[in-house]
Amino acid sequence: MLRSHTCGELRIEDQGTEVTLCGWIQRRRDFGSMSFFDLRDRYGITQLAFNEETNAVILDEARSLAREFVVQITGIVRERSNKNPNLSTGDVEIEVTRIHLLNRALTPPFTIEDETDGGEEIRMKYRYLDLRRNPVKNRLVLRHQTNKSVREYLNAKEFIEVETPYLIKSTPEGARDFVVPSRLNEGQYYALPQSPQTFKQLLMVSGYDRYYQIVKCFRDEDFRADRQPEFTQIDCEMSFVERDDIISVFEGMIRKVFLDVRQYDLGEIPVISYDDAMRLYGSDKPDLRFGMTFCYLTDVAKGKDFAIFDQAETIVAINVTDGNAFTRKELDAITDYVKRPQIGAKGMIYCRVNEDGSLKSSVDKFFDREALSQWASVCASQPGDLILVLSGDHSTVLKQMNELRLHVAGLKGLRNPENFKACWVVDFPLLEWDEESKRFHAMHHPFTSPLPEDENMLDSDPGKVRANAYDMAINGMEVGGGSIRIYNKELQAKMFKLLGFTDEEAKEQFGFLMNAFEYGAPPHGGIAFGFDRLCAILSGTDSIRDVIAFPKNNMGRDLMIDAPSVLNKHQLNELGLSN
């Protein structure tokens, strides 16, 4: 070892010892005949002290060191006169007796500090420098701890990790495949997996019983904020289980992760049906850190000559506790928010519930005290509250109210990223009608089984069939999803047919799976968690980029290595791609 200790290790008990440390020069402070340097490594920062009176030569040498130079220093641990309680090593400093310069550094293009002056682009280009900064490093450490906690849990429960191939044939999970040309099979292509879905199911047919893999998946989606073309899943599958078994095993896993990584007890995780989630929150991934569930005024607010309501299919409200404190100006700003094109509400109606119990709405012309008191009663409003109302076409207005609910919660400070609330959402529709292609799509994927009690509707009313599937959401973000699978060839064939595959197409793409189902497939089901998203939530950051060591930008580019890039003629020729 080139060092005796790390830069995060020395304490007051080490006083008087001679030590050797290695690291990067973070910062320097000069005071006349004295200089102090911060020496940094992954573990922390240790102060180096130089004094002209005790060692003028070494002070001179030190003053030639610039930021981010890599050095090895030897010296004696001394008690600091000016202690720094914010630093684990803040009680001590090193009186340096020898400096060995290990490497020089150019001046970094941005400061390597917790608060840096570098913009996003330059930090991505020099990601190896950005990774030196504490906030970035801490998130990668958290990612490692999360990974470790997940493995501990699954290993203890007899799951085994099996690696599945990256060069495969396309699996339809709703996104486009990335493809890789085959040099040896000219004109043919591999696809990179959108998930190991079919392989993990085959492992169940093979009798492996409990599988997991922390695995890269690839989806060639259009550029959307906070999407990465490659991302990591905690991918799991189990045999001889029903939905509640999966829910209980993976609830245990997520609770352990939050305890290990954040010392946070998520408590029992509620299970909500898709219909209830939509009805109460207008979202299939509701944020349960706060209430403000939807109240329906359709029955009480129609027929009072207020044309906007009379023409609306649905009138929905939320009651904002203590919301009467919002000023007129603030309410106007909220109205502007829901009227933005991204949300598209035509307008917002409100009703104040004053401290004396009187009600004051923005549509007093149409609704008298009695009418408004019906609103207040439906919404269970208390003095000091505020009722916000949107109306319109049912599914549109639910989406808009979901946005409004989240926005108001944000304004009221109810979306604290240090608070965590998880839920399971179950009983999703199995199929989703697509107007454009005039056919059904699998809401989850084609291998998801229908709820046993709904299976008889597959022929008569497929749109009504619910899936034996489950999603987990935390703080309003989807973190995982899975299903109990079809394990019978006939049902799988029927499913493909419903999804518009011809027999030939189904056979061509999934013959291997349907064949496997003829050799003793056990009942099985599984789930996959978005590992990046989970780490982002655990770190309290909005962006999965923050928890990925070498992320791509939102154009799918790696700015550091400059990828994707063109291939030279020779490579293209070999792949049969030139012309």
Radius of gyration of the chain (CA): 30
For 87, the token pair is: 């630093």
Region of 26-34, 277-285, 421-429, 477-485 interacting with ligand ASP (CB under 6 A): 477-485
Among 197, 198, 319, 400, binds ligand ASP (CB under 6 A): 197
For 418, the 3-state DSSP assignment is: coil
**Of residues 239 and 319, the one with the C-beta less far from ligand ASP:** 239
Region of 111-119, 404-412, 524-532, 554-562 interacting with ligand ASP (CB under 6 A): 524-532
For 563, the token pair is: 């990828």
Among 286, 323, 450, 526, binds ligand ASP (CB under 6 A): 526
User: x/- string (CB under 6 A) for ligand ASP, residues 19-58?
Assistant: ----------------------------------------
The span from the CA of 320 to the CA of 293, in Å, is 10
Tell me the CA end-to-end span of the chain in Å, nearest whole number.
55
**Of residues 197 and 319, the one with the C-beta less far from ligand ASP:** 197
Region of 15-23, 366-374, 413-421, 476-484 interacting with ligand ASP (CB under 6 A): 476-484
Among 373, 483, 509, 539, binds ligand ASP (CB under 6 A): 483
The span from the CA of 321 to the CA of 388, in Å, is 11
One DSSP character per residue, 38-97 reads EEEETTEEEEEEEETTT-HHHHHHHHT--TT-EEEEEEEEEE-SS--TTSTTTTEEEEEE
Query: Is-cis flag, bond preceding 193, omega within 30?
Result: no
Q: How far is the CB of 335 from ligand ASP (least distance, A)?
A: 37
528 contributes a contact to ligand ASP by CB under 6 A: yes
446 contributes a contact to ligand ASP by CB under 6 A: no
Say what angle helices 328-339 and 394-411 make with each other, to 10 degrees. Answer: 140
Closest CA to 534 of 243, 154, 142: 142
Region of 7-15, 202-210, 309-317, 525-533 interacting with ligand ASP (CB under 6 A): 525-533
475 contributes a contact to ligand ASP by CB under 6 A: no
Task: Name 272's bridge partners.
Answer: 425
One DSSP character per residue, 230-269 reads EEEEEEEEEES--HHHHHHHHHHHHHHHHHHHH-----SP
Closest CA to 523 of 141, 231, 241: 241
Among 323, 476, 481, 551, binds ligand ASP (CB under 6 A): 481
202 contributes a contact to ligand ASP by CB under 6 A: no
Region of 25-33, 239-247, 329-337, 475-483 interacting with ligand ASP (CB under 6 A): 475-483
Question: Which residues, at least 6 apart from 58, have a Cβ–Cβ distance to it below 8 Å?
Answer: 50, 96, 97, 98, 99
Q: Which residues bind ligand ASP (CB under 6 A)?
A: 173, 195, 197, 481-483, 526-528
